[in-house]
Structure 1
Amino acid sequence: METMRPVRTWLSDMDGVLVHEEEAIPGAAEFVRALRDRGRPFLLLTNNSIYTARDLQARLARSGIEVPEESIWTSALATAQFLDKQRPGGTAYVIGEAGLTTAMHSIGYVLSERDPEYVVLGETRTYSFEAITTAIRLIERGARFIATNPDPTGPSQQGSIPATGSVAALITRATGVAPYFVGKPNPLMMRSALNRIDAHSESTVMVGDRMDTDIVSGLEAGLRTILVLTGSTKQEAVERFPYRPTFVRESVAELIELVDRWDTDEDEVVDL
């Protein structure tokens, strides 16, 4: 038992922490409700750039998890925010779905195949060889290469499917140009999330199910981290990594007690 800085804000991954596909993980709805009841700022993060925050809000609601739209932060939104700060009012050729194209339109970007300043690659369930070829040719002509996230595969009911990281590797192989990945494990996404809810790294905790994305990005952003074992990383794999989470818990259901324990405005709280 030791004292530590209080936890005033929470960041959490979605898939593998709160839901599996369309099914809520036991305790997920109660965990989110505990955060809302206590008025603790929180943000749900996802590398999935397919859906808008409104789409994800509706999907979570169907699973019994009630979350405000503004409490969802996707790699598409983080990518759009990054580009808006780097080069406001720019142009981009975008490979992706509504989550990404909507985010790009929201910052005033023009989506074009004609000499765009950027090629922006996101996730889609229907990658087009023609679109990938266009991206390769635009990058060869000087377009900057951005990708929402480096995940090589994504889940489906039939098994793994190629995701943004795999297609980015194909384009890199063809052009010799590597993309700048905005999503996890880039701590930039964590920093943008903290800024969105006006949070400080010293009083924020990141909950995730993957050591190589959620935990390492939280660690590099200066957050305490909690690994739950309901997703990608299992207990026996934790020791293989050169870094460790602050805590390991079986599932999000065990975090409800931590929300209660850390629900304080004191300068220090008792660690478990």
Structure 2
Amino acid sequence: MIEGVTDEVSPWTYLMDMDGVLVHEEHMVPGADAFLNELREHGLPFMVFTNNSVYTRRDLRARLMRSGLDVPESAIWTSALATAQFLDKQRPGGSAYVVGESGLTTALHNIGYVLTDRDPDYVVLGETRTYSFEAITKAIRLVEGGARFIATNPDEKGPSREGTLPATGAVAALIERVTGREPYYVGKPNPLMMRSALRELRAHSENTLMIGDRMDTDVRSGLESGLQTILVLSGISGRHTAELFPYRPTRVIDSVADLVGRVEHPFD
């Protein structure tokens, strides 16, 4: 038992990153299926996270199914959904100019937002594989004209089969450099994303843990949300790189396969 962690008091709620924890690109991390099955068998609520705003919940469920993982749409939480929830609370029924894909536009449509390039309340920047110079220029001019600047996540780069791709944070930096206006990032490591998921699950931080493969986003957002954290070494951060950060996860394991057989007592 880790000092200060009382996992025998009540059942745990599990939050977990998707890429690097459950899957690598289109391939399942070995043992992830057994881990999720055990969570279901014990009736433990869970939510799968991604900072990627490209896909809808339905798209991501289909992607996970192709990898051999059965995750219901209701158990998937994206930076696009968190961004839409945030905007709905800040300015209900507002308008936005969106640079992004269907995951983001669908989430904003679902809260009743009007998507427009004419005097929008917000410029909302998300992930896309086809960033357009014309769209970025339009976003810059709208921000200069007074639109509030929101970005779904600060990730500067992402993987692809061909190599590294520029991601939301890199394009946001370009817009910020031109306009002098810093965006508000909703996704990890902003603890807002964790708290929005906790509300969805009606869970409490004291009995929730976050599993991630990145110290700078997953572990940090978990810590700042008051959660117990588990770093898996099946993705970005390794043991050596984890030691370079000024904060530490509650526990470090090789992969979620190490939790099979102990989901009710993950810190024993």
Tell me how far apart the structure 2 counterparts of residues 189 and 87 of structure 1 sit (CA, whole Å): 18
Identity %: 68
What letter matches 1:9 in structure 2?
T
Matched with 1:213 is 217
Cα distance, 1:198 vs. partner? Answer: 0.4
Matched with 2:156 is 152
Cα distance, 1:60 vs. partner? Answer: 0.3
Please state if 1:23 is matched with 2:24. no
Picking from 43, 46, 66, the partner of 2:50 is: 46
Contact in 2 for aligned 1:5/1:202 (Cα 8 Å): no
Tell me how far apart the structure 1 counterparts of residues 265 and 150 of structure 2 sit (CA, whole Å): 41
Contact in 2 for aligned 1:122/1:164 (Cα 8 Å): yes
Contact in 1 for aligned 2:12/2:264 (Cα 8 Å): no
Matched with 2:240 is 236
Tell me how far apart the structure 1 counterparts of residues 139 and 152 of structure 2 sit (CA, whole Å): 15
Q: Identify the range of structure 1 (136-145 vs 249-258) with the bigger mean alpha-carbon deviation.
A: 249-258
RMSD: 1.0
CA deviation string 1:83-107 (max 9, x = no partner)? 0000000000000000000000000
Cα distance, 1:255 vs. partner? Answer: 1.5
Picking from 131, 137, 145, the partner of 2:135 is: 131
Matched with 2:6 is 5
1:177 counterpart SS class: coil
Please state if 1:201 is matched with 2:202. no
Flag as ranges the 4+ runs of structure 1 deviating above 4 A.
none
Picking from 31, 34, 37, the partner of 1:33 is: 37
Contact in 2 for aligned 1:151/1:164 (Cα 8 Å): yes
**TM-score if structure 2 supplies the norm length?**
0.97
CA deviation string 1:39-58 (max 9, x = no partner)? 11110010000000110001
Tell me how far apart the structure 1 counterparts of residues 78 and 169 of structure 2 sit (CA, whole Å): 16
Matched with 1:76 is 80
Q: What does 1:157-176 correspond to in 2, within 5 Å? A: 157-176=161-180
What letter matches 1:85 in structure 2?
K
Matched with 1:177 is 181
**TM-score if structure 1 supplies the norm length?**
0.95
What letter matches 1:5 in structure 2?
T
Tell me how far apart the structure 2 counterparts of residues 260 and 40 of structure 1 sit (CA, whole Å): 8
Matched with 2:263 is 259
Tell me how far apart the structure 1 counterparts of residues 244 and 176 of structure 2 sit (CA, whole Å): 29
Picking from 58, 64, 70, the partner of 2:62 is: 58
Residue correspondences, number: 264
Tell me how far apart the structure 2 counterparts of residues 88 and 101 of structure 1 sit (CA, whole Å): 16
Tell me how far apart the structure 1 counterparts of residues 132 and 159 of structure 2 sit (CA, whole Å): 19
Contact in 1 for aligned 2:198/2:204 (Cα 8 Å): yes
What letter matches 2:174 in structure 1?
L
Tell me how far apart the structure 2 counterparts of residues 151 and 220 of structure 1 sit (CA, whole Å): 18
Cα distance, 1:4 vs. partner? Answer: 2.8
Stretches of structure 1 that go unaligned for 5 or more consecutive residues are: 263-270
Compared CA separation, residues 9 and 57, structure 1 to 2 (3 A): same
Cα distance, 1:260 vs. partner? Answer: 4.2
